[in-house]
Amino acid sequence: MKRRNFIEKATLSSLALGAITNLHGAVQDRGMTSLSSAISGDKINHSVCYWCFEDIPLEDFLIILRRLGIGAIDLVGPKDWPLLKKHNIHCSMCNGAELGLTKGWNNPKYHPELIDNYTKMIPLVAEAGYTNLICFSGNRDGMTDEEGLMNCVTGLKQILPLAESHGVVLQMELFNQIDHPDYMCDHSDWGVALCKALESENFKLLYDIYHMQIQEGDIIRSIQNKHQFFGHYHTAGVPGRHEIDDTQELYYPAIMRAIAATGFKGYVAQEFAPASDDPIASLIQAIEICDV
């Protein structure tokens, strides 16, 4: 892969957590080379999951993203949306209506609370100018996959008309069974079957590449054959959920080219937990790898 030197390592280190006392001033005054001039932006829309960098205060992190030319962030709820708007960073995947990963739409006992939460949240997402809202299947808890799927259909159909009227897309994330034992939406085929049963363009799958490499592999073929059901992508290195560089087994440039070839116009969000001492350097490297 041809490398491009976006930012010098010394400058990157100055952006790492705790390395400077006045991040605002450093971002504005150090004359750093900006990643924004190097990102092509014509094939992949880049985003970042904040939880992976949450040791950095959100506002400082938004300043870094703005300076680097990364225009979106994942998994931020309504209380922080004003801060995103202040720094002109889009929320590419909203959260805040779910009950957690294990209590989801596959269990009818959670439907009343979930329906109430999503009925309140969907208009807020639309009013803020955002589109994507995450949801989860929940754990099996002894249910068959068929029973859980039908329960998801019953519950989700009660809020999908509201989502459709507001232009909001519900995105159910796929997880693997090693990290999340008993989670039901653990195979892309199960998720696709749910999409087909719901018959709505306002319900998609959040295809987490890390999770699906562990659970079923065959990433590029899945993207090629099922991309119409995938509304969002997450990245991370396998094994370990760390950097997506050559220390792990996935070759992300080829995966990104496969995504781009489908005509995908949504977001690809970095969701790796940095293992290096310079998390911002790792983030820039990940954007470089994925900017095909």
pLDDT tens-place string over residues 138-189: 999 999 999 999 999 999 999 999 999 999 999 999 999 999 999 999 999 9
Between 135 and 36, residue with greater pLDDT: 135
**Residue 73 β-bridge partners:** 48, 91
Confidence grade of residue 24 (pLDDT, cut at 50, 70, 90): very low
Helices then strands, each counted (H, E), the chain: 12, 8
**Residue 76 β-bridge partners:** 94
Residues 67-79 have pLDDT tens digits of 999 999 999 999 9
The answer for residues whose C-beta is within 8 angstroms of residue 144's C-beta and 6 or more apart is: none
Average pLDDT over residues 13-20: 42
Average pLDDT over residues 48-63: 97
Contact status, residue 164 vs residue 158, Cβ threshold 8 Å: no
d(CA 191, CA 267): 19
Element (H, E) at 131: none
Instruction: Determine the 3-state secondary structure of 237 from DSSP.
Output: coil
User: Please, what's the largest Cα pairwise distance for the chain?
Assistant: 58
Residues 241-270 have pLDDT tens digits of 999 999 999 999 999 999 999 999 999 999
DSSP assignments along 190-220, one per residue: HHHHHHHHHT-TTEEEEEEHHHHHHHT--HH
pLDDT, position 38: 55
Q: Domain ranges in the chain?
A: 48-290
Contact status, residue 219 vs residue 250, Cβ threshold 8 Å: yes
pTM of the model: 0.89
d(CA 255, CA 258): 5
Question: 58: alpha, beta or left, given left = phi > 0 and alpha = psi -120 to 50?
Answer: alpha
CATH level 2 (architecture), domain 48-290: Alpha-Beta Barrel (3.20)
d(CA 159, CA 164): 9
Burial code of 126-147, b = ≥16 C-beta within 10 A, e = fewer? bebebbbbbbbbbbbeebebee
Contact status, residue 155 vs residue 108, Cβ threshold 8 Å: yes
Instruction: Determine the 3-state secondary structure of 144 from DSSP.
Output: coil
Q: Give the whole-number percent of the chain exceeding pLDDT 70.
A: 86
**Mean pLDDT comparison of 14-23, 25-34, 259-268, highest-scoring range:** 259-268
d(CA 160, CA 31): 48
Contact status, residue 215 vs residue 190, Cβ threshold 8 Å: no
pLDDT, position 36: 55
Confidence grade of residue 13 (pLDDT, cut at 50, 70, 90): very low
Q: Which of 263, 261, 217, 256 is nearest to 234 (CA)?
A: 256
pLDDT, position 78: 98
pLDDT, position 43: 87
CB atoms within 10 A of CB 171: 22
Q: Is residue 10 pLDDT above 90, yes or no?
A: no
pLDDT, position 279: 96
Q: Is residue 8 pLDDT above 90, yes or no?
A: no
Residues 78-109 have pLDDT tens digits of 999 999 999 999 999 999 999 999 999 999 99
Residues 175-223 have pLDDT tens digits of 999 999 999 999 999 999 999 999 999 999 999 999 999 999 999 999 9
Q: 194 is written with which tokens?
A: 């749910």
Helices (H), 34-80: 58-68
Instruction: Determine the 3-state secondary structure of 39 from DSSP.
Output: coil
What average pLDDT is seen over the chain? 90
> Which stretch of 6-10, 194-198, 282-286 has the lowest confidence by average pLDDT?
6-10
